[in-house]
Structure 1
Amino acid sequence: MTSVAPPPPSPAELTVVEVPVSDPRVKPLLRELADEYSTRYGEDAHAEMTRYPDEEFTAPHGGVLLLLLEHGEPVAGGAFRRYDETTAELKRIWTHSAHRRRGLARRVIAELEREARARGYRRIHLTTGPRQPEARGLYLATGYTPLFDTKADPETIGPLPFEKHLTTPSRT
Protein backbone atom coordinates (compact mmCIF):
# COMPACT_ATOMS: atom_id res chain seq x y z
CA MET A 1 0.00 0.00 0.00
CA THR A 2 1.44 3.35 -1.02
CA SER A 3 1.10 6.34 1.21
CA VAL A 4 -0.23 9.50 -0.34
CA ALA A 5 1.15 12.82 0.83
CA PRO A 6 -1.42 15.15 2.32
CA PRO A 7 -2.34 18.14 0.18
CA PRO A 8 -0.25 21.24 0.68
CA PRO A 9 -1.49 23.59 3.37
CA SER A 10 -3.35 26.61 2.13
CA PRO A 11 -1.58 29.96 2.58
CA ALA A 12 -4.03 30.71 5.39
CA GLU A 13 -2.76 27.65 7.27
CA LEU A 14 0.85 28.84 7.18
CA THR A 15 2.48 31.59 9.17
CA VAL A 16 5.92 32.96 8.32
CA VAL A 17 7.94 34.06 11.33
CA GLU A 18 11.41 35.48 11.64
CA VAL A 19 13.25 33.97 14.60
CA PRO A 20 16.78 33.84 15.98
CA VAL A 21 18.82 30.67 15.39
CA SER A 22 18.46 29.99 19.13
CA ASP A 23 14.65 29.72 18.89
CA PRO A 24 13.68 26.20 20.06
CA ARG A 25 11.54 25.72 16.93
CA VAL A 26 14.69 25.88 14.76
CA LYS A 27 16.52 23.05 16.53
CA PRO A 28 14.46 20.08 15.22
CA LEU A 29 14.84 21.26 11.62
CA LEU A 30 18.60 21.75 11.95
CA ARG A 31 18.99 18.40 13.72
CA GLU A 32 17.12 16.59 10.95
CA LEU A 33 19.13 18.49 8.31
CA ALA A 34 22.42 17.50 9.97
CA ASP A 35 21.27 13.88 10.23
CA GLU A 36 20.45 13.83 6.52
CA TYR A 37 23.77 15.44 5.55
CA SER A 38 25.57 12.88 7.72
CA THR A 39 23.75 10.02 5.98
CA ARG A 40 24.33 11.36 2.47
CA TYR A 41 27.98 12.30 2.91
CA GLY A 42 29.12 9.64 5.39
CA GLU A 43 30.50 11.98 8.03
CA ASP A 44 29.08 13.80 11.02
CA ALA A 45 27.60 17.06 9.72
CA HIS A 46 26.32 18.41 13.04
CA ALA A 47 29.34 20.72 13.35
CA GLU A 48 28.40 22.25 9.97
CA MET A 49 25.20 23.58 11.56
CA THR A 50 27.30 25.77 13.88
CA ARG A 51 29.91 26.78 11.30
CA TYR A 52 28.67 30.37 11.22
CA PRO A 53 27.98 32.47 14.31
CA ASP A 54 24.29 33.02 15.04
CA GLU A 55 24.82 36.78 14.65
CA GLU A 56 25.35 36.32 10.90
CA PHE A 57 21.70 35.24 10.63
CA THR A 58 20.24 38.28 12.38
CA ALA A 59 19.11 41.69 11.18
CA PRO A 60 20.20 43.87 9.60
CA HIS A 61 22.29 41.54 7.41
CA GLY A 62 20.59 38.16 7.79
CA GLY A 63 17.61 36.28 9.07
CA VAL A 64 16.00 32.93 9.83
CA LEU A 65 12.47 32.33 8.60
CA LEU A 66 10.18 29.47 9.55
CA LEU A 67 6.91 28.32 8.08
CA LEU A 68 4.53 27.32 10.85
CA LEU A 69 1.28 25.42 10.61
CA GLU A 70 -1.77 26.86 12.38
CA HIS A 71 -0.94 25.12 15.64
CA GLY A 72 2.64 26.46 15.61
CA GLU A 73 4.46 23.38 14.31
CA PRO A 74 7.52 24.33 12.24
CA VAL A 75 7.39 22.51 8.90
CA ALA A 76 10.02 24.29 6.82
CA GLY A 77 12.57 27.01 7.10
CA GLY A 78 15.71 28.61 5.86
CA ALA A 79 18.15 31.37 6.55
CA PHE A 80 20.24 33.97 4.82
CA ARG A 81 23.39 35.84 5.69
CA ARG A 82 25.42 38.62 4.12
CA TYR A 83 27.70 37.30 1.37
CA ASP A 84 28.86 40.73 0.24
CA GLU A 85 27.43 44.25 0.19
CA THR A 86 24.80 43.47 -2.45
CA THR A 87 24.50 39.69 -2.11
CA ALA A 88 22.73 37.50 0.41
CA GLU A 89 23.64 33.83 0.80
CA LEU A 90 20.84 31.35 1.41
CA LYS A 91 21.60 28.64 3.95
CA ARG A 92 19.81 25.76 5.65
CA ILE A 93 16.78 25.50 3.35
CA TRP A 94 14.86 22.65 4.91
CA THR A 95 11.48 20.97 4.95
CA HIS A 96 10.60 18.51 7.70
CA SER A 97 10.60 14.98 6.27
CA ALA A 98 6.90 14.49 7.09
CA HIS A 99 5.94 17.56 5.01
CA ARG A 100 7.96 17.21 1.80
CA ARG A 101 6.69 17.33 -1.80
CA ARG A 102 4.10 19.96 -0.91
CA GLY A 103 5.74 23.14 -2.26
CA LEU A 104 6.97 24.35 1.12
CA ALA A 105 10.61 24.75 0.09
CA ARG A 106 9.53 26.96 -2.82
CA ARG A 107 7.60 29.08 -0.34
CA VAL A 108 10.62 29.32 1.96
CA ILE A 109 12.81 30.45 -0.93
CA ALA A 110 10.26 33.05 -2.02
CA GLU A 111 10.02 34.41 1.54
CA LEU A 112 13.81 34.51 1.94
CA GLU A 113 14.16 36.32 -1.38
CA ARG A 114 11.46 38.81 -0.38
CA GLU A 115 13.17 39.53 2.93
CA ALA A 116 16.64 39.77 1.36
CA ARG A 117 15.27 42.22 -1.23
CA ALA A 118 13.68 44.27 1.58
CA ARG A 119 17.10 44.45 3.26
CA GLY A 120 18.64 45.89 0.11
CA TYR A 121 20.23 42.81 -1.42
CA ARG A 122 20.12 42.58 -5.21
CA ARG A 123 21.57 39.12 -5.69
CA ILE A 124 21.31 35.73 -4.00
CA HIS A 125 24.16 33.22 -3.86
CA LEU A 126 23.87 29.67 -2.57
CA THR A 127 25.54 26.31 -2.77
CA THR A 128 24.26 22.79 -2.40
CA GLY A 129 26.08 19.52 -2.14
CA PRO A 130 26.67 17.13 -5.02
CA ARG A 131 24.56 14.43 -3.32
CA GLN A 132 21.46 16.60 -3.05
CA PRO A 133 19.72 16.27 -6.42
CA GLU A 134 16.42 17.44 -4.93
CA ALA A 135 18.00 20.75 -3.89
CA ARG A 136 19.66 21.14 -7.27
CA GLY A 137 16.30 20.61 -8.97
CA LEU A 138 14.57 23.04 -6.61
CA TYR A 139 17.06 25.83 -7.31
CA LEU A 140 16.86 25.30 -11.06
CA ALA A 141 13.05 25.27 -10.90
CA THR A 142 12.96 28.53 -8.92
CA GLY A 143 15.06 30.49 -11.38
CA TYR A 144 18.59 30.09 -10.04
CA THR A 145 21.46 30.06 -12.53
CA PRO A 146 24.00 27.28 -12.02
CA LEU A 147 27.58 28.57 -11.82
CA PHE A 148 28.97 25.16 -12.76
CA ASP A 149 28.87 22.77 -15.70
CA THR A 150 25.50 21.02 -15.32
CA LYS A 151 26.68 18.20 -17.59
CA ALA A 152 29.64 17.32 -15.35
CA ASP A 153 29.43 14.68 -12.64
CA PRO A 154 28.46 16.64 -9.49
CA GLU A 155 30.85 14.53 -7.42
CA THR A 156 33.77 15.99 -9.41
CA ILE A 157 32.65 19.57 -8.72
CA GLY A 158 32.10 19.62 -4.97
CA PRO A 159 29.68 22.29 -3.70
CA LEU A 160 27.37 23.37 -6.51
CA PRO A 161 27.08 27.19 -6.64
CA PHE A 162 23.99 29.05 -7.91
CA GLU A 163 23.01 32.69 -8.20
CA LYS A 164 19.88 34.69 -8.82
CA HIS A 165 19.56 38.39 -9.46
CA LEU A 166 16.63 39.86 -7.59
CA THR A 167 14.33 42.14 -9.48
CA THR A 168 12.66 45.11 -7.93
CA PRO A 169 8.94 44.45 -7.52
CA SER A 170 6.89 46.42 -10.02
CA ARG A 171 4.50 49.00 -8.65
CA THR A 172 1.05 48.96 -10.15
Structure 2
Amino acid sequence: MSYSIIDTSPLDPVAKPLIDALQYEYSTRYREFRRDSDTSAAEELARYPAELFAPPEGAFLVIVRDGETVAGGAFKRYDAHTAELKRIWTHAAVRRQGLARRVVEELEARALRQGYRRVYLTTGFKQPEAWGLYTDTGYAPLFDRAIAPEIHVHLPFAKDLLDPLAVHTLEDLRPRAPLGLQR
Protein backbone atom coordinates (compact mmCIF):
# COMPACT_ATOMS: atom_id res chain seq x y z
CA MET A 1 0.00 0.00 0.00
CA SER A 2 1.23 3.47 -0.78
CA TYR A 3 0.66 6.56 1.28
CA SER A 4 1.12 10.30 0.97
CA ILE A 5 2.18 12.79 3.60
CA ILE A 6 0.19 16.00 3.25
CA ASP A 7 1.02 19.28 4.96
CA THR A 8 -2.32 20.82 5.78
CA SER A 9 -4.41 22.45 8.50
CA PRO A 10 -6.74 21.10 11.19
CA LEU A 11 -9.50 22.92 9.29
CA ASP A 12 -8.93 20.98 6.05
CA PRO A 13 -11.52 18.23 5.38
CA VAL A 14 -8.65 15.72 5.03
CA ALA A 15 -7.93 16.33 8.75
CA LYS A 16 -11.52 15.70 9.88
CA PRO A 17 -11.04 11.93 10.44
CA LEU A 18 -8.07 12.70 12.71
CA ILE A 19 -9.94 15.35 14.72
CA ASP A 20 -13.11 13.24 15.01
CA ALA A 21 -11.21 10.11 16.06
CA LEU A 22 -9.13 12.00 18.63
CA GLN A 23 -12.28 13.50 20.12
CA TYR A 24 -13.86 10.05 20.41
CA GLU A 25 -10.67 8.53 21.85
CA TYR A 26 -10.16 11.28 24.46
CA SER A 27 -13.83 11.15 25.39
CA THR A 28 -13.99 7.38 25.86
CA ARG A 29 -10.57 6.88 27.51
CA TYR A 30 -11.15 9.57 30.11
CA ARG A 31 -14.90 9.16 30.65
CA GLU A 32 -14.52 7.92 34.23
CA PHE A 33 -12.26 10.89 35.13
CA ARG A 34 -14.19 13.78 33.58
CA ARG A 35 -17.79 14.70 34.32
CA ASP A 36 -18.65 15.57 30.74
CA SER A 37 -15.91 13.85 28.79
CA ASP A 38 -17.51 14.52 25.38
CA THR A 39 -17.51 18.28 25.97
CA SER A 40 -14.09 18.17 27.58
CA ALA A 41 -12.60 16.35 24.58
CA ALA A 42 -14.19 18.79 22.13
CA GLU A 43 -12.87 21.74 24.14
CA GLU A 44 -9.36 20.27 24.20
CA LEU A 45 -9.34 19.86 20.42
CA ALA A 46 -10.65 23.42 19.91
CA ARG A 47 -8.29 24.96 22.48
CA TYR A 48 -5.68 26.13 19.96
CA PRO A 49 -6.47 28.17 16.83
CA ALA A 50 -5.53 26.46 13.57
CA GLU A 51 -3.02 29.18 12.69
CA LEU A 52 -0.75 28.02 15.55
CA PHE A 53 -0.20 24.82 13.55
CA ALA A 54 0.93 26.65 10.40
CA PRO A 55 4.47 27.56 9.32
CA PRO A 56 6.65 29.34 10.19
CA GLU A 57 6.00 28.42 13.83
CA GLY A 58 3.95 25.24 13.47
CA ALA A 59 3.02 22.35 11.22
CA PHE A 60 0.08 20.02 10.73
CA LEU A 61 0.29 16.89 8.61
CA VAL A 62 -1.73 13.84 7.76
CA ILE A 63 -0.86 10.52 6.18
CA VAL A 64 -3.32 9.38 3.55
CA ARG A 65 -3.29 5.75 2.42
CA ASP A 66 -5.48 4.67 -0.49
CA GLY A 67 -7.55 7.84 -0.19
CA GLU A 68 -8.17 7.51 3.57
CA THR A 69 -6.62 9.63 6.34
CA VAL A 70 -4.88 7.07 8.56
CA ALA A 71 -2.47 9.09 10.71
CA GLY A 72 -1.35 12.58 11.50
CA GLY A 73 -0.07 15.09 13.97
CA ALA A 74 1.04 18.62 14.53
CA PHE A 75 3.30 20.95 16.41
CA LYS A 76 3.13 24.53 17.57
CA ARG A 77 5.65 26.88 19.10
CA TYR A 78 6.33 26.19 22.79
CA ASP A 79 9.21 28.65 23.13
CA ALA A 80 11.87 30.14 20.88
CA HIS A 81 13.83 26.87 20.71
CA THR A 82 11.10 24.29 21.33
CA ALA A 83 8.22 22.90 19.27
CA GLU A 84 5.33 21.22 21.10
CA LEU A 85 3.89 18.08 19.53
CA LYS A 86 0.09 17.85 19.51
CA ARG A 87 -2.62 15.66 17.99
CA ILE A 88 -0.49 12.58 17.22
CA TRP A 89 -2.94 9.96 16.01
CA THR A 90 -3.15 6.71 14.04
CA HIS A 91 -6.38 5.06 12.88
CA ALA A 92 -7.18 2.07 15.10
CA ALA A 93 -7.25 -0.32 12.12
CA VAL A 94 -3.63 0.45 11.14
CA ARG A 95 -1.86 0.79 14.46
CA ARG A 96 1.42 -1.02 15.13
CA GLN A 97 2.55 -0.47 11.53
CA GLY A 98 5.02 2.36 12.19
CA LEU A 99 2.74 5.20 11.08
CA ALA A 100 2.86 7.11 14.39
CA ARG A 101 6.65 6.81 14.38
CA ARG A 102 6.66 8.19 10.83
CA VAL A 103 4.44 11.11 11.90
CA VAL A 104 6.81 11.93 14.77
CA GLU A 105 9.86 11.71 12.47
CA GLU A 106 8.23 13.97 9.87
CA LEU A 107 7.25 16.52 12.52
CA GLU A 108 10.76 16.48 13.99
CA ALA A 109 12.26 17.11 10.53
CA ARG A 110 9.90 20.05 9.96
CA ALA A 111 10.66 21.43 13.43
CA LEU A 112 14.40 21.36 12.68
CA ARG A 113 13.88 23.07 9.31
CA GLN A 114 11.79 25.72 11.06
CA GLY A 115 14.61 26.47 13.50
CA TYR A 116 13.62 24.52 16.60
CA ARG A 117 16.24 22.65 18.59
CA ARG A 118 13.95 20.68 20.93
CA VAL A 119 10.54 19.05 21.00
CA TYR A 120 8.26 18.93 24.03
CA LEU A 121 4.93 17.17 24.51
CA THR A 122 2.51 15.91 27.07
CA THR A 123 0.37 12.85 26.78
CA GLY A 124 -2.41 11.55 28.96
CA PHE A 125 -2.04 9.08 31.79
CA LYS A 126 -4.51 6.70 30.07
CA GLN A 127 -2.45 6.51 26.86
CA PRO A 128 0.30 3.92 27.48
CA GLU A 129 0.73 3.37 23.73
CA ALA A 130 1.81 7.01 23.44
CA TRP A 131 4.29 6.65 26.32
CA GLY A 132 5.82 3.71 24.48
CA LEU A 133 5.99 5.59 21.18
CA TYR A 134 7.77 8.57 22.72
CA THR A 135 10.17 6.45 24.77
CA ASP A 136 10.96 4.31 21.69
CA THR A 137 11.65 7.41 19.58
CA GLY A 138 14.15 8.86 22.04
CA TYR A 139 12.03 11.18 24.17
CA ALA A 140 13.04 11.60 27.80
CA PRO A 141 10.23 11.38 30.36
CA LEU A 142 10.19 14.62 32.38
CA PHE A 143 8.09 13.25 35.23
CA ASP A 144 8.74 11.12 38.26
CA ARG A 145 7.89 7.61 37.12
CA ALA A 146 7.69 6.46 40.75
CA ILE A 147 4.47 8.49 41.10
CA ALA A 148 1.26 6.98 39.72
CA PRO A 149 0.55 8.37 36.21
CA GLU A 150 -2.96 9.52 37.17
CA ILE A 151 -1.42 11.90 39.77
CA HIS A 152 0.53 13.57 36.98
CA VAL A 153 -2.55 13.66 34.68
CA HIS A 154 -0.37 14.95 31.81
CA LEU A 155 2.92 13.16 31.27
CA PRO A 156 5.62 15.44 29.80
CA PHE A 157 8.35 14.20 27.47
CA ALA A 158 11.05 16.06 25.53
CA LYS A 159 13.87 15.49 23.08
CA ASP A 160 16.88 17.53 21.99
CA LEU A 161 16.80 17.23 18.20
CA LEU A 162 20.45 18.28 17.76
CA ASP A 163 21.76 15.95 20.46
CA PRO A 164 19.12 13.27 21.10
CA LEU A 165 21.12 11.69 23.95
CA ALA A 166 21.37 14.98 25.85
CA VAL A 167 18.98 15.28 28.76
CA HIS A 168 20.59 18.27 30.52
CA THR A 169 19.33 20.56 27.73
CA LEU A 170 15.75 19.67 28.68
CA GLU A 171 15.83 20.51 32.41
CA ASP A 172 14.00 23.83 32.02
CA LEU A 173 11.05 21.90 30.55
CA ARG A 174 10.73 19.62 33.58
CA PRO A 175 7.72 20.58 35.76
CA ARG A 176 8.48 21.29 39.42
CA ALA A 177 5.51 19.16 40.52
CA PRO A 178 3.21 16.65 38.80
CA LEU A 179 1.13 18.57 36.25
CA GLY A 180 -2.05 17.27 37.85
CA LEU A 181 -1.13 18.99 41.12
CA GLN A 182 -0.13 22.36 39.61
CA ARG A 183 -2.61 25.21 39.66
Shorter-chain TM range is: 0.7 to 0.9
| CA distance in 2: counterparts of 1:112 and 1:53, whole angstroms | 18
| CA distance in 1: counterparts of 2:63 and 2:29, whole angstroms | 25
1:19 is the counterpart of 2:14: no
| CA distance in 1: counterparts of 2:29 and 2:51, whole angstroms | 28
| CA distance in 1: counterparts of 2:131 and 2:42, whole angstroms | 22
Alpha-carbon offset, residue 105 of structure 1: 0.2
- Deviation string for 1:105-132 (max 9, x for gaps)? 0000000000000000000000001111
From 28, 35, 54, the equivalent of 1:39 is: 28
| Amino acid in the other structure paired with 1:65 | L
| CA distance in 2: counterparts of 1:53 and 1:92, whole angstroms | 13
Structure 1: 5+ residue stretches without partners: 1-8
| CA distance in 2: counterparts of 1:135 and 1:149, whole angstroms | 17
From 88, 98, 103, the equivalent of 2:93 is: 98
Partner of residue 152, structure 2: 157
CA contact (8 A) 2:71 2:89 kept: yes
Matched residue count:
156
1:53 is the counterpart of 2:49: yes
- Deviation string for 1:53-77 (max 9, x for gaps)? 11100111001011111x3321100
| Amino acid in the other structure paired with 2:13 | P
Moved over 4 A (4+): none
CA contact (8 A) 1:31 1:46 kept: no
Of 20-29 and 118-127, the range deviating more from structure 2 = 20-29
From 68, 72, 76, the equivalent of 1:73 is: 68
- Deviation string for 1:11-42 (max 9, x for gaps)? xx121110011110101111111111111111
TM-score w.r.t. the length of structure 2 is 0.82
CA contact (8 A) 2:10 2:19 kept: no
CA contact (8 A) 1:41 1:131 kept: yes
Partner of residue 5, structure 1: none
From 133, 145, 169, the equivalent of 1:138 is: 133
Q: Which has the higher helix share?
A: 2
Alignment identity in percent? Answer: 55
Could you say which structure has the greater relative contact order, defined with CA pairs below 8 angstroms and 6 or more residues apart?
1
Structure 2: 5+ residue stretches without partners: 32-36, 164-183
SS in 1 for 2:11: coil
TM-score w.r.t. the length of structure 1 is 0.87
CA contact (8 A) 1:57 1:81 kept: yes
